[in-house]
Amino acid sequence: MLASPSSPPKLSIVIPVFNESESLNLLHEKIVDVAQAEKLSYQLLLIDDGSTDASWERITQLNALDPNTTGIRLRRNFGKAAALAAGFDAATGDVLITMDADLQDDPQEIPNLLKKMSEGFDVVSGWKKVRNDPWHKTFPSKIFNFLVGWATGVPLHDHNCGLKAYRREIFDEVKLYGEMHRFVPVLAASRGWKVGEIPVQHHPRQFGHSKYGAKRFIKGLLDLITVYFLTGFRQRPQHLLGSFGLLCLLGGSVGLFILLTFWLISRMSEAIPDIHLHERAIFYLSICSLLLGFQMVAVGILAELITAISRPDQSPYSIAQTTSSSDTNSSNTSDTK
C-alpha cells in the first residue's frame, strides 16, 4: 500500500538513456525541482543502454552533483526492456516511475501519477491525449492501442507511453524481456493488479531524433500475439492450440465428406457427370486443413507436457492479502472457549 499523503512513498525514477546527452542536465533539473516542491524522497536511476555519445559522462557528472542519482551502464545496446529491467532490479523505492529521457515526458506529471495511485490503483499509465508527433507515428499507434485493448481487455488509450507508475511488488511477478515493456500494464492486469490511466502532457522533441521506425509496429503486433498467449493460455496452451486444431479438423472433415458424397452420387447416377476429386481445389484444401489440425493438436499436447514438466517459477495465482497465523490462532482459540 502507498503511504499516507502526509508521508509520500519513496520513488525510484527509472529512465533508459540511449544517446540523450543533450537532454540529461535539463531532465535532472526538472526532476529535482518537482521532488523538492512536492517533498518527495527519490532515487533517480539513469540506465545508459550502450550510448555512443557523451551520455555516460553526463550521467557520472550528475551522480557527483546529486547523491540521489545513480548511473548504470550496460555493455551494449540491449533494448529498452532490458534497460528498464536493470533499473527495476536496482530500485529501492516503494513506487517505480518510468519516463523517457528526451524531455517529451514531463516530470511535472509525477505528482499526478501518485495522486491517481492513491485512489487504489497499482499501475497508472500516462495518456498522451495531445501528441506532438508526426502522423506516421500517431496513426499506427492508434491502431496498435485499439488492437491491444480489444485482444487483452485492458483498454488503455496509450500503451506506448513511457510515463508510467508501478507499485514495486508488481515486478516480483512480471518479468521484462524482449520488448515487453509496453505490455507491463497488460501483464499486471492479467495477474489481478488494478490498472488506471491519466492524461499527461507531451512536449515536442527538443533534442536528438526518434529511435523508432516503421518496424516498431510490426514488432508490436508480434509481441501482442505473444502477450495474448501468455496472459490467456500460459497454463493451458492446449485450449488455444487444440481449439484451432479442432476447427481445422472439422473444416477438413466436412469438406471431404461433401466431396465424397458428390463423388458417390456422380458414380451412381448417369444424369450427373463424373466428379474427379483430384481436379477440385477444395479436395487439397481439405487435406491440408486435416493435416494442420492434427499438427496443432499434437503441438498443443507437447506444450501441455512442457508446461507440466518445466514447473514455471511464476505461480498460477496472485495473492492480494492474507491473515496472519497469530490472528487465525487467536480466533480459533476464542471459538473453542
Domain ranges (residues) in the chain: 11-233, 237-310
At residue 330, φ and ψ (nearest 5 deg) are -65, -35
Structure confidence at residue 239 (pLDDT) = 83
Structure confidence at residue 333 (pLDDT) = 44
Q: Which CATH superfamily is domain 11-233 in?
A: Spore Coat Polysaccharide Biosynthesis Protein SpsA; Chain A (3.90.550.10)
pLDDT band, residue 328 (cuts 50/70/90): very low
Q: Which residues does residue 165 pair with via DSSP β-bridges, in sequence order?
A: 97, 124
Q: Which residues does residue 105 pair with via DSSP β-bridges, in sequence order?
A: 202
**Within a 13 Å sphere around the CA of 82, how many CA atoms are in the beta-carbon half?**
12
The pLDDT tens digits for 251-276 are: 999 999 988 888 888 878 777 777 78
State how far the Cα of 14 lies from the Cα of 116, in Å rounded to an integer.
19
CB atoms within 10 A of CB 144: 19
Structure confidence at residue 36 (pLDDT) = 94
Structure confidence at residue 317 (pLDDT) = 54
Higher pLDDT, 84 or 304: 84
* Global model pTM greater than 0.75: no
pLDDT band, residue 6 (cuts 50/70/90): low
Per the CB < 8 A criterion, the answer to whether 156 and 149 are in contact is yes
State how far the Cα of 284 lies from the Cα of 259, in Å rounded to an integer.
11
What average pLDDT is seen over the chain? 83
Structure confidence at residue 268 (pLDDT) = 80
Output b/e per residue, 160-179; b: 16+ Cβ within 10 A.
Answer: bbbbbbbbbebbebbebeeb
